[in-house]
């Protein structure tokens, strides 16, 4: 493997494309196949994060490419007001045709943010049709991310992304504490005690805004980029669902990043059980990133029969829509990706490889001075860095520790996803590792070795600044 150039290259000319940064130009990626991204200079990067946990079957899969080409040949676009396509019908059938846990309809859009906005509007319409028009409020959590459109951004609390818009967000939104054991469960508290405290806080927020005023509680089943792969503690989601039920509100789970097999089960909430041992089934859930594996932009909603019935027996239509909803090429591509996942039993493989990844991370990094926590599920792992392990004190944000580790890993030829503001939006550092489900043990070892080496270099680089 040849070494990759570092981070970014300075501008020598002004590009027409508005990049994320107006000062630095991203690297030019020339091609990608399997688990590798090939850069302009020929260097190869092992893709250990699939972008943002998107590329679940790697790059350049011929079966998916053929499905896209065939769909484009037969029918590339029709408006959903008048037409449907077999690609869209088949994708919906694959996901909810067997009514898993009562989820009975799918709705496809272009991005995760659109999916969250759609979920918010659907939840509101559900109550509107039931005559509960006074329900206007959404409750979500601090340290959670749901998207960048105004609706989804309003319920998000990824502070750095909110900053210029904070004063013009939707009203009727409030945030409660995240379920983030490493930083926020106190040392004299049991896990059950922690869950009880969070349930009381949510209940108090319902009471504060008005028990019959809330549309939904929205949460990521496993928090993704904001705090780095934070799974809920046992019993947490069931307790939150019980609070929602008590006040007649809906439970919306955002699995745009953690869903579609990433945590080792198709839906991450399948691993969350109530006291009776039943999974915590959401009323509406969102899926995205892994759905199309990065071959096309596609995200979606999966909707429980309970919600569908109210619309069916009421107005008879979801008063919402997009030009590109259920786009045939997107649906055909996602269908092909999901068929590969099913045929190759990649969700099961993901669960097995996840144990391998967790094992290696603990083995190589578990005893390091600045590694506070290693956590995750399936092929969805994060390492949280702290300056002081006893106090769990974060680095000075100016040090940008996580970003330095990510940049060094990239120089060593491995792409991982950095995160800052892990703890509260301003302090805290983590890196996120989310390789394709098709990853093999040898590559996992390669990834963890590179991350360990990058961590050591980062420590040497920042030591002077501590
Ligand atoms: C990425 C993400 C979104 C937003 O999806 P986009 O496609 O970027 O709009 C929403 N929720 C979660 C949990 C995500 O990880």
Instruction: Output the tens digit of pLDDT for each of the chain's 466 residues.
Output: 444 444 455 556 789 999 999 998 999 999 999 999 999 999 999 999 999 999 999 999 999 999 999 999 999 999 999 999 999 999 999 999 999 999 999 999 999 999 999 999 999 999 999 999 999 999 999 999 999 999 999 999 877 778 899 899 999 999 999 999 999 999 999 999 999 999 999 999 999 999 999 999 999 999 999 999 999 999 999 999 999 999 999 999 999 999 999 999 999 999 999 999 999 999 999 999 999 999 999 999 999 999 999 999 999 999 999 999 999 999 999 999 999 999 999 999 999 999 999 999 999 999 999 999 999 999 999 999 999 999 999 999 999 999 999 999 999 999 999 999 999 999 999 999 999 999 999 999 999 999 999 999 999 999 877 6
Tokens at 306, concatenated: 């309970």
The pLDDT of residue 183 is 97
Q: Is 147 in the pocket of ligand 1 (CB under 6 A)?
A: yes
441-444 contact pairs (CB < 8 A, 24+): 441/353, 441/356, 443/35, 443/46, 444/353, 444/356, 444/357, 444/360
> Is there a contact between 419 and 430 (Cβ–Cβ < 8 Å)?
yes
Q: Is 285 in the pocket of ligand 1 (CB under 6 A)?
A: no
Cβ-based neighbour number of residue 315 at 10 Å: 12
The pLDDT of residue 123 is 98
Q: Is 53 in the pocket of ligand 1 (CB under 6 A)?
A: no
The pLDDT of residue 4 is 46
Atom index in ligand 1 nearest the CA of residue 286 equals 11
- How many residues does this entry show for the chain? 466
Nearest CA to 437 out of 308, 337, 317, 318 is that of 337
Dihedral pair phi/psi, residue 244, rounded to 5°: -60, -45
> Is there a contact between 65 and 433 (Cβ–Cβ < 8 Å)?
no
Between CA 195 and CA 288 the distance in angstroms is: 28
The residue with tokens 């969700």 is 347
Q: Is 194 in the pocket of ligand 1 (CB under 6 A)?
A: no
Residues 305, 308, 309, 311: what is their CA dihedral angle, to the nearest 10 degrees?
Answer: 170
The pLDDT of residue 10 is 53
The pLDDT of residue 3 is 44
Q: Is 222 in the pocket of ligand 1 (CB under 6 A)?
A: no
Between CA 169 and CA 354 the distance in angstroms is: 38
Half-sphere exposure of residue 163: CA atoms within 13 angstroms, side-chain side:
4
Q: If you measure from the C-alpha of residue 326 to the centroid of ligand 1, how many angstroms do you get, rounded to a whole number? A: 18
> Which of 114, 147, 154 maximizes ligand 1 atoms within 8 Å of its Cβ, making it the mutation to test the pocket?
147
- Residue 394 Rama label (left phi>0; alpha psi -120 to 50; beta): beta
Cβ-based neighbour number of residue 131 at 10 Å: 8
The pLDDT of residue 5 is 45
pTM of the model: 0.96
Burial of 233 (0-12, 13-18, 19+ CB in 10 A): middle
Cβ-proximal residues to 222 (8 Å cutoff; 6+ apart), any chain: 229, 230, 231, 232, 257, 258, 263, 268, 376, 377, 380
Q: If you measure from the C-alpha of residue 77 to the centroid of ligand 1, how many angstroms do you get, rounded to a whole number? A: 25
Return the residue whose CA atom lies nearest to atom 11 of ligand 1.
146
């Amino acid at each position: 493997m040849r070494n990759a150039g570092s981070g970014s290259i300075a501008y020598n000319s002004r590009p027409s494309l508005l990049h994320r940064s107006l000062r630095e130009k991203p690297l030019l990626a020339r091609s990608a196949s399997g688990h590798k991204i090939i850069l302009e200079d020929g260097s190869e990067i092992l893709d250990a994060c699939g972008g943002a946990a998107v590329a679940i079957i790697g790059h350049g899969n011929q079966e998916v490419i053929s499905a896209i080409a065939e769909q484009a040949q037969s029918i590339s676009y029709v408006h959903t007001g008048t037409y449907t396509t077999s690609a869209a019908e088949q994708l919906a059938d694959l996901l909810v045709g067997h009514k898993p846990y009562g989820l009975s309809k799918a709705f496809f859009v272009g991005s995760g943010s659109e999916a969250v906005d759609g979920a918010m509007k659907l939840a509101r319409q559900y109550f509107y049709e039931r005559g509960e028009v006074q329900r206007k409020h959404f409750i979500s959590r601090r340290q959670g991310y749901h998207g960048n459109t105004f609706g989804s951004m309003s319920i998000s609390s990824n502070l750095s992304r909110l900053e210029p818009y904070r004063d013009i967000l939707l009203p009727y939104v409030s945030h409660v504490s995240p379920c983030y054991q490493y930083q926020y469960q106190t040392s004299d508290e049991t896990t059950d005690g922690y869950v009880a405290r969070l349930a009381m806080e949510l209940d108090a927020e319902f009471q504060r805004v008005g028990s019959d005023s809330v549309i939904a509680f929205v949460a990521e089943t496993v928090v993704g980029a904001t705090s780095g792969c934070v799974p809920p503690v046992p019993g947490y989601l069931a307790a939150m669902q019980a609070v929602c039920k008590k006040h007649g509100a809906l439970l919306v789970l955002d699995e745009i990043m953690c869903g579609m097999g990433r945590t080792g089960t198709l839906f991450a909430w399948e691993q969350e059980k109530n006291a009776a041992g039943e999974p915590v089934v959401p009323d509406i859930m969102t899926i995205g990133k892994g759905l199309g594996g990065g071959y096309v932009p596609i995200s979606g909603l999966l909707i429980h029969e309970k919600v569908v019935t109210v619309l069916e027996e009421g107005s008879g239509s979801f008063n919402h829509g997009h030009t590109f909803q259920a786009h045939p090429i997107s649906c055909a591509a996602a269908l092909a990706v999901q068929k590969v996942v099913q045929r190759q039993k990649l969700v099961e493989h993901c669960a097995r490889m996840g144990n391998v990844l967790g094992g290696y991370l603990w083995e190589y990094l578990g005893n390091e001075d600045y590694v506070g926590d290693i956590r995750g599920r399936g092929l969805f792992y994060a390492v949280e860095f702290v300056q002081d392990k006893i106090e769990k004190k974060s680095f000075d944000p100016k040090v940008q520790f996580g970003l330095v580790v990510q940049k060094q890993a990239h120089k060593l030829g491995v792409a991982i996803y950095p995160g800052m503001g892990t703890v509260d939006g301003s302090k805290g550092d983590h890196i996120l590792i989310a390789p394709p489900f098709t990853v093999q043990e040898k590559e996992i070892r390669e990834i963890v070795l590179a991350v360990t080496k990058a961590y050591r270099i980062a420590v040497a680089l920042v030591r002077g600044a501590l």
